[in-house]
Structure 1
Amino acid sequence: MMMSFFDQFKTPIFLGVPLIALSLTLPWLLFLKPTSRWITNRLLTLQSWFINRFTQQLFLPINVGGHKWALLLTSLMLFLVVLNMLGLLPYTFTPTTQLSLNMAFATPLWLATVIVGMRNQPTQALGHLLPEGTPIILIPVLIVIETISLFIRPLALAVRLTANLTAGHLLIQLIATAAFVLLPLMPAVAILTSGLLFMLTLLEVAVAMIQAYVFVLLLSLYLQENV
């Protein structure tokens, strides 16, 4: 029995072994792999079209030097989408509700974009810390503010993904509990609450996909500043 609404966000453990590694491995098993036997498969064609369109739109404003990141960011987008969607199924666990995991995704990729910028174009990379035309008296303050803003980016990425998924899951749990409690007392209200729960579930599906896209989109914007 669930003792707290927040128990759903605890990492499941079986025989003393955390199952988060299994949760992270499962999405990759769901992707279709191209073979000569499936060359005319409609589902595979739709998957390829979606990946191509997403990659094209994501890297349209990025210089050619940053296109080598296409495979990495597209794979991350697909991984996060499936991971978030699987977390909406009953008796499942959403690893992306863990801030530590999201930080593990955001920090290395953000740091890689910074390193690429400092290596390839250090002048322009450092130029982002001080906007052009800044009054001399404000230069030290703005440099400090922009530096803090730069280093807080991975935390903002991780917190955004964690907070949106956690809030949606928690709201679904609250409404589902309310519908279950109201069913023997006020069936009509319980049915209306169940309808609201269904609409909220559809909204959470959209949020799961949008938040994965926003996560990768912001990483691509950081990359655009440094290539």
Structure 2
Amino acid sequence: MNQNLFTSFNIPTILGIPLITLIILFPTLMMTPPNKLISNRTSSLQQWLIQLTLKQLMLNHSTKGRTWSLMLLTLITFIALNNLLGLTPYAFTPTTQLSMNIGMAIPLWTATVLMGFRFKTKASLAHFLPQGTPIPLIPMLVIIETISLFIQPMALAVRLTANITAGHLLMHLLGDTALTLASIYFSSSMITVIVIILLITLELAVALIQAYVFTLLVSLYLHDNS
């Protein structure tokens, strides 16, 4: 039994060695690379999903932005697999760790901002001061726009962490409720089990949606700076 509600979010260790790296790589290791010589339903579905995802992410990008297609495709696949990993029994969800999500968000955000300052210097600087701003408000608006710019990677990381963590906590609470009711009112516990099954189905959708939202926001930052 867990010591507290948040014990399941602690990083597993063996002999004091954190297993976070192995856990992160586990979903990727389970995937088989596509074989161009063999065509089956699985590979066809995989190629269709890749083309559909790239079409949505790269729809309005310039030539420079489209060079990020492989990076964005890898990112959405990595986040989706790690989100789904946490829905398996006795598993650990790496994306519930804020440090990991910040580690993904900050480098990607920094790369897009640096690209904007390199290729669209005037347009990037113009974002700090909207056209027609009264002179007395210029210092305040520059400070506000600067703060909003630096908040973007934190918003990316916190959004992903909060959405994944909230669903897992709710399933944990409902699971404990079902076990408690099983020894008292069996019929009530069955209703709770049905609710948990519906919640797991919802969490499957949330895991994929949050991966898409994270990648889409990075794509939008890239679009604004490329």
TM range (shorter): over 0.9
Structure 1 residues 59-208: aligned runs within 5 Å? 59-208=58-207
**1:92-139: CA deviations, max 9, x gaps?**
100110000000000000000010011111110111111222222221
Give, in angstroms, the shift of residue 30 of structure 1: 2.7
Deviation at residue 31 of structure 1 after TM alignment: 2.5
- Deviation of the 1:15 alpha carbon: 1.5
Provide Cα deviations, 1:56-88, integer angstroms capped at 9, x if missing partner: 111101112110000001101001001100111
Q: Among all aligned residue pairs of Structure 1 and Structure 2, give the percentage whose two residues are the same amino acid.
A: 49
Runs of 4+ off more than 4 Å: none
Measure the CA separation in 1 of the matches of 2:35 and 2:191: 47
Give the gaps of 5 or more residues in structure 1.
none
Mark the runs of 5 or more structure 2 residues left unpaired by the alignment: none
Q: CA deviation at 1:178?
A: 0.0
- Root-mean-square deviation (CA, aligned residues, Å) is 1.0
Please state whether the residue corresponding to 1:182 is helix, strand or coil. Answer: helix
Contact preservation (8 Å) 1:32, 1:44: no
Give 3-state SS (helix, strand or coil) of 2:176's partner. helix
- Distance across 1 between alignment mates of 2:172 and 2:35: 41
TM-score, with length taken from structure 1? 0.97
Counterpart in 1 of 2:32? 32
- Name the CA distance, whole Å, in 2 between partners of 1:225 and 1:84: 28
SS in 1 for 2:132: coil
Alignment size in residue pairs: 226
